[in-house]
Structure 1
Amino acid sequence: MADQAQRIQLDFNNVLRVGGEHGLTEAELDAATAQAGQAIAAVQQRRQGGDLRWMELPYADTSAVEQLAGEIRDQFDNFVVLGIGGSALGNIAVNTALNGPFYNSDNQRTHPRLFVLDNSDPEFNAGLLQVIDPARTAFNVITKSGSTGETLSSFLFFRDVVQHAVGGDKLKDHFILTTDPAKGPLRDLVNREGFRSLPVPEGVGGRFSVLSPVGLLSAAVTGIDIKQLLAGAAFADEITREADAWQNPAAMGALVQYLLYGKGVDIVVMMPYAQRLKDVADWFAQLWAESLGKKVDRTGAVVNVGPTPVKALGATDQHSQVQLYAEGPFNKLVNFLRVERFATEGALPAAYENMDAFSYLAGHSFAELINAEHEATAIALTEAGKPNMTHILPEVNAFTVGQLLYLLEVQTAIAGELFNIDAFDQPGVESGKVATYALLGRQGYEQQRQQIEQAQGQRNPRATV
């Protein structure tokens, strides 16, 4: 096992300090330990049956990704990801965490700039052309099905732009299609027109794909050590196989949130106290919401279950959201992310020593300040009877980021077992896709369009102000 000094810890003492009414007691957790053990075993059993292939990603061969990344670095100044949801959020989270929030503006940068377009907003797509030269840009089109409307729209738009910039004979050099290895519209284009391609591994859903070529290519292009990213995930895999929930941070994280959900704590706020981890909260929101928000359980009973994820950022949102968390309803668990050692401490110099508002800061650092702010917020929430817990990262590096992502994925899978729902489908998302196809006149969706038009015809004119 890797160096334990790089292990992420889950500290849920403040859930216990809040106690029985709005938090949990040690006895309550002990009473549910057997249920958690069954959930851990069920996840591992599904894995052994070949059902959860995302769990094997830490051990995948990355040579094809690394070779392609090298070619892109040699040829292009910009790398643009065209994707949405799980085909984009992980790329953003990993880049912000490991390259930092100012990567594209860094004059010392030696790798291509990274842009991720994850919306069909017209100004967002067209606006990119103001800051890139299409002739010096590679585009990674990511959709497992090969038919995601938002992504294919961006592909059509930028395909036309590139074709006008470099000509049709060089068009395919500017696009990498990441999609199903065997089927789908994008795979058909790869086979017919010779685009470079990477596979979305079979059995790996979008929100669990960040450690696959979906997320690894943009990471490798921008200079991130993807082997260390996967090594961290493999370390988390070892930890999260532990059958005792008290020794398994993924299982305990799932168990705490499952038991609190039963007490009406149905919102989890992920609040990193590190700017680099800001976008991990965004990625987690999709992972948690899309996996656990379900209408029916495995027996087919209607349960309409699912804790709601909310993203926040410390210390920024101490000045916007924490008032609600401290004095509002008792329906939230705050999940902090804390970094023990920052790459830069940021020493605070002495000045205005005769003014107390300044003098007490002298001799400290930004690192001390932000961690003191985390601790102070946790204390305030605990005193207000609001449960909170903290994932503690020794530092932010490729190993700990890979570890954190995998740990949260396993936590989600175990939570699905506890809630007795399928954490790996998304029927609510699919129904929205069908409605979009119908509204835009896609062949085969005529009946759905007719149903939509009939429903829209029943609009109440008083309901629009």
Structure 2
Amino acid sequence: MPQTTSAITYDYSGLLAAEDAPALQRDTGILPSDLCWLVPRLEAARKEVLDDAAVWKSGAAVAKEKQPLDAGFFELPERLLRTDRAVVDRVVAVADRLAGEVDRVVVLGIGGSYMGARALMEACCHPCHNELSRQRRRNRPRMYFEGNNVDNDAVCGLLDLLEGADDWALVVISKSGGTLETAVAFRIFFQALKHICGNDPEKLRRRVVPITGRTGKLRALARRLGLSDQDMFDIPEGVGGRFSVFTPVGLLPAA
């Protein structure tokens, strides 16, 4: 079958104003002279991104002022569809398992470790997703985001909601594991989940999914708590938090 291509187009004509437009339009619109000023700067920024991606892909030495070089995000979509398809399959399998075992998932993360997933949920799900019936949620769990601040009331409120419930799981996201807000929240919610699971380490293992770097404090802590590397997802090298939505960081909550 012939392949078809689709593209997202953006019509910006409504933002433009003519040089001889009335004062209000000139003040609020983009003038042709503004575009002329922007073009070389945008082209320079694009070239820098492509050059950084080429350096990262080649494995060449990275200049000190460029470190850490988080340029691995650039080819993530193609990698996931071609060479890293197993990652997508595993994400879907774990998401389906959680959906079959629990009705609520608490996602712990801060900054780029949760904003992409939350943005996807707010863009693609019903605005009152958590209030819908299981059937109307298409058999997917309720989603709660925490670990992104030090608000004691928010943590206690969610713990009150989960108290006594045996139908929730924990996804903790941190590349380093050293981020204070997420680290504190993980310890609090892990203890609550451990209490619910009682003396069943296998049940606890199936209810906790860390997403983290290949090394770091969170991976070390998860191992001490009895989780193996097979129970965790990796955040790829060269991918910063703000660009991680096409890694398990964004894909697992989205699934």
Asked if these proteins are the same fold (TM beyond 0.5), I'd say yes
* TM-score w.r.t. length of structure 1: 0.44
Please list, as runs of the form range in 1=range in 2, the aligned pairs for 1:419-438 lying within 5 A after superposition: none
- In the alignment, what sits opposite 1:88? 114
Question: What are the residue-to-residue correspondences of 1:40-79 with 2, within 5 Å?
Answer: 40-50=46-56, 51=69, 52-59=71-78, 60=80, 61=85, 62-79=88-105
Contact 2:15 2:30 in 1 (8 A): no
Alpha carbons 1:200, 1:214 under 8 Å: kept: yes
Equivalent in the alignment of 2:243? 208
Distance in 1 (alpha carbons) for counterparts of 2:72 and 2:130: 33
d(CA) in 2 for partners of 1:22, 1:112: 44
Partner SS state of residue 93, structure 2: helix
Asked whether 1:173 is paired with 2:206, we answer yes
Asked which structure has the greater CA Rg, the reply is 1
Q: Which residue of 2 aligns with 1:36?
A: 42
Secondary structure of the residue that 1:104 maps to in structure 2?
Answer: helix
Match of 1:159 among 190, 195, 205: 190
The secondary structure found in structure 2 opposite 1:111 is coil
| Cα offsets for 1:387-429 (capped at 9, x unmatched) | xxxxxxxxxxxxxxxxxxxxxxxxxxxxxxxxxxxxxxxxxxx
Q: How does 1:15-34 map to 2 (within 5 A)?
A: 15-17=16-18, 18-19=25-26, 23-30=29-36, 32-34=38-40
Q: CA RMSD in A?
A: 2.1
Are residues 1:188 and 2:220 paired? Answer: yes
Provide TM-score, normalisation by structure 2. 0.77
What aligned pairs does 1:366-385 form with structure 2 within 5 A after superposition?
Answer: none
| Shift of residue 67, structure 1, vs aligned partner | 1.6
How far apart in 1 are the matches of 2:46 and 2:250? 26
Query: Which AA in structure 1 matches 2:207?
Result: H
Q: Residue 17 of structure 2: SS of its match in structure 1? A: helix
Structure 1, unpaired ranges of 5+: 221-465
Q: Which residue is 1:102 aligned to? A: 128
Q: What SS does structure 2 have at the residue aligned with 1:79?
A: strand
Report the Cα distance in structure 1 between the residues aligned to 2:38 and 2:193, rounded to whole angstroms: 57
Which one has a larger percent strand, Structure 1 or Structure 2?
1
Paired residues in the alignment total: 216
1:8, 1:106 → 2: CA distance? 34
1:127 equivalent in alignment to 2:157: yes
- Give the letter aligned to residue 40 of structure 1: R
How far is 1:73 from its partner?
Answer: 1.3
Deviates further, 188-197 or 118-127 = 188-197
SS of the residue corresponding to residue 170 of structure 2 reads strand
Q: Distance in 2 between matches of 1:64 and 1:23?
A: 47
Summarize deviations over 1:192-245 as a string: whole Å, max 9, x none: 42252111111111111122111110110xxxxxxxxxxxxxxxxxxxxxxxxx
Q: Which runs of 5+ in 2 are unaligned?
A: 19-24, 57-68
Closer, same or farther: CA 47–126 of 1 in aligned 2, 3 Å = same
Partners of 1:90 and 1:154 in 2: CA distance? 19
Q: For 1:135, what is the secondary structure of its paired residue?
A: coil
Deviations 1:64-91 (A, max 9, x none): 2112112111211111101111112211
